[in-house]
Amino acid sequence: PVTETFRVIQGAITEEYVRSTQGVFQFELSGDGGGTWYIDLKTKGGSAGFGKPPVTADVVMSMSSADFVKMFTGKLKPTLAFMSGKLRIKGNMALALKLEKML
């Protein structure tokens, strides 16, 4: 499910998102399909995938892979995940909020 979610994200990235967001997000996911993943909305064209981002991340989010998939499929609100401790955010909070709008 995590790999599939990132495939969908990669397909949804547009120059417009990159221009309006200008941020790199790193996800530290635990559990099934976990590991380090990223969404680059700063570099021309943008990208998403497995591993460390091509440039330094502005925001690092840590959560379980199950909650990550729920969040990106709209079953878990990012704000609620953060408030309930399911999502930990390090770095630029304003950028983290911009990503929430993209969801």
- Which helix (DSSP H) or strand (DSSP E) does residue 94 occupy? helix 93-102
Amino acid at 9: I
pLDDT of residue 46: 96
- Per-residue pLDDT tens over the stretch 20-36: 999 999 999 999 999 99
Closest by CA position to 22, among listed 5, 40, 38? 40
Q: Domain span at residue 2?
A: 1-101
User: What CATH number is associated with residue 9?
Assistant: 3.30.1050.10
Tell me: pLDDT of 102 over 90.
no
- Per-residue pLDDT tens over the stretch 45-99: 999 999 999 999 999 999 999 999 999 999 999 999 999 999 999 999 999 999 8
What secondary structure letter does DSSP report for 92?
-
The number of distinct structural domains making up the chain is 1
- Give CA separation, 22 vs 1, 82, 91, 96, 98, in Å: 26, 22, 14, 11, 10
pTM of the predicted model as reported, rounded to 2 decimal places: 0.94
Contact status, residue 6 vs residue 51, Cβ threshold 8 Å: no
